[in-house]
Amino acid sequence: MAELQTTGVPAIEVRKLCKSFGDNEVLKGIDFHVDQGEVVCVIGPSGSGKSTLLRCVNRLEEPTSGTIIVEGVDITDEDTDLDKVRTRIGMVFQQFNLFPHLTVLRNLTLAQIRAKKRGKAEAEEIARRNLDKVGLADKVDAFPAQLSGGQQQRVAIARALSMDPDMMLFDEPTSALDPELVGDVLDVMKQLARDGMTMMVVTHEMGFAREVGDRVVFMDGGVVVEQGKPDDVLGNPQHERTRGFLSKVL
């Protein structure tokens, strides 16, 4: 297996990525990258392939063709140890996917103990530190159902962080939340970005993209239509399709 490299290479590099589901060609030759420490926001209409792209990055979806390189390691190479690469990538989804029958603390320690082989005490210490980071130190013994959606999503972020990922992928992390709960989750993500985390964020939160994103990528119909600095893409889009989309969401 190739050695992992962490300096000088992009965190994520996607080349000519194609993905079809049966006859449905969903990704049509995507070139995309995220540099280390960069926050890239991916926007675009429903069905444009944003989630499929994100899911290909840690091989939750099998690409039809193309190359995906994570920290210098080709994850489309069949010799690559996928489990090892995946531990470097934290994922946060629209649905929080917490285990309902486990306390918050156990939700955070489970994967650490199983996949990272940490002892219980160490895993709990790391869990508490990350819960504190997302403002939920007092919820260690709560069950997910006792928390609001925004709190559950922050637990999901803390859980991902407890695996010490090099990068975080977010797929519409606030789309399932009541409007008044969105801000707390975005604040946690802003702080993560300030701390230097590499982030790929699929979002409809244009304010977040503008304020926190280093780059915005607009996808439509399985291609990257336009990308650049948030102020340019959102404030002065060059393509008609981008203008059409933004006129509906801004």
Stretch binding ligand ADP (CB under 6 A), from 42-50, 129-137, 205-213, 233-241 = 42-50
Q: Alpha-carbon distance 141 to 39, whole Å?
A: 33
What residue 235 binds from ligand ADP, Mg ion, none (CB within 5 to 8 A, per partner kind)? none
Does residue number 52 form part of the binding site for Mg ion (CB under 5 A)? no
C-alpha closest to that of 98 among 182, 194, 47, 162: 162
Smallest gap from residue 171 Cβ to ligand ADP (A): 7
What is the distance of C-alpha 222 from the center of its chain? 18
Smallest gap from residue 156 Cβ to ligand ADP (A): 18
| Token pair in block for residue 29 | 């030759």
What residue 7 binds from Mg ion, ligand ADP, none (CB within 5 to 8 A, per partner kind)? none
Q: Which of 33, 34, 50, 193 binds ligand ADP (CB under 6 A)?
A: 50
CB 98 within 8 A of CB 147: no
Phi, psi at 14, each rounded to 5°: -115, 125
Q: Which helix (H) or strand (E) holds 171?
A: strand 167-171
Size of the site for Mg ion (CB under 5 A): 2
Smallest gap from residue 87 Cβ to ligand ADP (A): 24
Q: Specify the residue, 91 or 105, whose C-beta has the smaller distance to ligand ADP.
A: 91
| Token pair in block for residue 147 | 């928390």
End-to-end CA distance of the chain: 46
SS3 192: helix
Phi, psi at 143, each rounded to 5°: -100, 150
Smallest gap from residue 203 Cβ to Mg ion (A): 10
What residue 52 binds from ligand ADP, Mg ion, none (CB within 5 to 8 A, per partner kind)? ligand ADP
CB 56 within 8 A of CB 68: yes
Does residue number 60 form part of the binding site for ligand ADP (CB under 6 A)? no
Smallest gap from residue 166 Cβ to ligand ADP (A): 24
Q: Which of 48, 51, 153, 203 binds Mg ion (CB under 5 A)?
A: 51
**What residue ranges bind ligand ADP (CB under 6 A)?**
21, 24, 26, 44, 46-52
